[in-house]
């Protein structure tokens, strides 16, 4: 039996459309950037929970610095690395609001290491999203604490050398050891299945906040195809082959 | 047996031609056009519309929320 395309494309047959919380602005991210997918999923989660009016996001410095242009909630922009400190202040002043921070690895795991660790150790009741693409994307692909051994970056063109540059940092495993975190998990957003799992994790993290459980920390192993100098599809394959063995996906802590 | 048919609508003005949707489609529905949009990107389109099952895998991986997905169940006449 055949059916015409125009008879399928009807409101009653709709299964997926862009979240109403996303603005009409075209995202400034490079084609295929993981930031776009994660921004979108966060919007979908806030929409699904019906907490738009009560949510405050804290945007970072890095490629996602303009994230406040894309999701229709209240926002605060933090100085580089300081999102967890700013989020702490907001949540303590307005404990009935849902607060989330969103940071890259240069932001969360380099300049902001102290703020990250102390917010998690204090168990600030908020959701922290950590985009780990292994480099400083915005400033030209420099080596980050998260850059893998042997991985090329603009400041280590022959690959990260452990002798010279030290070991890559697994921030997520570190915060899982802290008593203040209630939920620590590592995800990706490169396949439809991974995106669906990420969405579930975010739903759970916001639910933890509702129940005053402490800090929920979600890492998303990500690509920066421009910085990595690969196509988006190649970047996803490279991430699976090289990032996942060092940054394995799954729950690290769930109390 | 019911048969599933799907369809997608790509916003080809905002599509950046990243090809992630092409790689994620289990039934090889999507291709990038030879033509470019105003931003210079080869935008995605339904190359094999009859193969679409409306699973929304493409929409899940699109960083720019360009894809709307529809699905119908057809009662097959034997
Ligand atoms: C105090 C301060 N130091 C340095 C910078 C320069 N700077 C801007 S973005 C950035 C790194 C961003 O990398 P990351 O957090 O990994 O985010 P990405 O761009 O990869 O998403 C740096 C060092 C700054 N803006 N402010
Ligand atoms: S995933 Fe989105 S932006 Fe990328 S080619 Fe497909 S429709 Fe265009
Ligand atoms: S809905 Fe599924 S089958 Fe249809 S184009 Fe998208 S990925 Fe392919």
* Domain annotation covers residue A121: yes
SS3 A22: strand
pLDDT, one tens digit per residue, over B36-71 is 999 999 999 999 999 999 999 999 999 999 999 999
* Domain annotation covers residue A187: yes
Using the mean position of ligand 1's atoms as its centre, give its distance from the Cα of residue A29 in Å: 15
Range of the domain at A153: 30-254
Q: Which CATH architecture has domain B4-72?
A: 2-Layer Sandwich (3.30)
Interface confidence (ipTM) of the complex: 0.95
Give this prediction's pTM.
Answer: 0.96
- CATH code assigned at A166: 3.40.50.970
- Name the residue at shortest CA distance from atom 3 of ligand 3: B52
Spatial CA neighbour of A168 closest among A142, A144, A133, A136: A144
- Asked if A71 and A43 touch (Cβ cutoff 8 Å), the reply is yes
- Name the residue at shortest CA distance from atom 1 of ligand 2: B62
B9 lines ligand 2 (CB under 6 A): no
Ranges of each domain in chain B? 4-72
Ligand 2 pocket, mutate which of B66, B67, B69 (most atoms under 8 A from CB): B66
* Domain annotation covers residue A9: no
Which one of the ligands is nearest to B36 CA?
A: 2
* Domain annotation covers residue A193: yes
Pocket of ligand 3, beta carbon within 6 A: B 6, 8, 24-27, 29-30, 52-58, 69
Q: How many domains does chain A have?
A: 1
* Domain annotation covers residue A98: yes
Torsion angle of the four alpha carbons B11, B15, B17, B19, in this order, in degrees rounded to the nearest 10: -70
pLDDT, one tens digit per residue, over A123-173 is 999 999 999 999 999 999 999 999 999 999 999 999 999 999 999 999 999
């Amino acid at each position: 039996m055949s059916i015409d395309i125009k008879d399928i494309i009807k409101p009653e047959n709709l299964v997926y459309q862009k979240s109403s919380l996303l603005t009409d602005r075209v995202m400034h991210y490079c084609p295929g950037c993981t930031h776009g997918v994660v921004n979108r999923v966060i919007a979908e989660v806030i929409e699904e929970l019906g907490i738009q009016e009560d949510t405050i996001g804290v945007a970072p410095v890095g490629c996602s610095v303009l994230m406040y242009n894309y999701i229709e909630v209240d926002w605060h922009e933090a100085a580089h690395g300081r999102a967890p400190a700013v989020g702490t202040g907001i949540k303590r002043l307005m404990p009935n609001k849902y607060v989330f921070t969103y940071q890259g690895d240069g932001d969360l795991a380099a300049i902001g290491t102290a703020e990250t660790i102390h917010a998690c150790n204090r168990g600030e009741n908020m959701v922290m999203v950590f985009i780990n693409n292994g480099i400083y994307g915005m400033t030209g692909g420099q080596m980050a604490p998260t850059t893998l051994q042997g991985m090329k970056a603009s400041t280590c063109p022959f690959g990260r050398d452990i002798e010279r540059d030290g070991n890559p940092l697994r921030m997520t495993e570190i915060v899982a050891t802290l008593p203040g975190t209630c939920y620590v998990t590592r995800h990706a957003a490169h396949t439809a299945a991974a995106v669906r799992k990420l969405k579930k994790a975010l739903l759970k993290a916001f639910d933890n906040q509702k129940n005053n459980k402490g800090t929920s920390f979600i890492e998303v192993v990500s690509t920066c195809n421009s910085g990595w100098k690969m196509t988006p599809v190649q970047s996803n394959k490279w991430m699976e082959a090289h990032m996942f063995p060092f940054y394995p996906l799954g729950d690290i802590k769930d109390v | 047996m019911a048969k599933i048919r799907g369809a997608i609508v790509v916003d080809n003005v905002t599509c950046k031609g990243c090809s992630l949707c092409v790689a994620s489609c289990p039934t090889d529905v999507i291709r990038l056009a030879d033509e470019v949009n105003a931003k210079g990107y080869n935008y995605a389109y339904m190359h094999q519309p009859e193969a679409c099952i409306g699973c929304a895998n493409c929409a899940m991986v699109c960083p720019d929320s360009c894809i709307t997905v529809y699905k119908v169940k057809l009662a097959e006449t034997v």
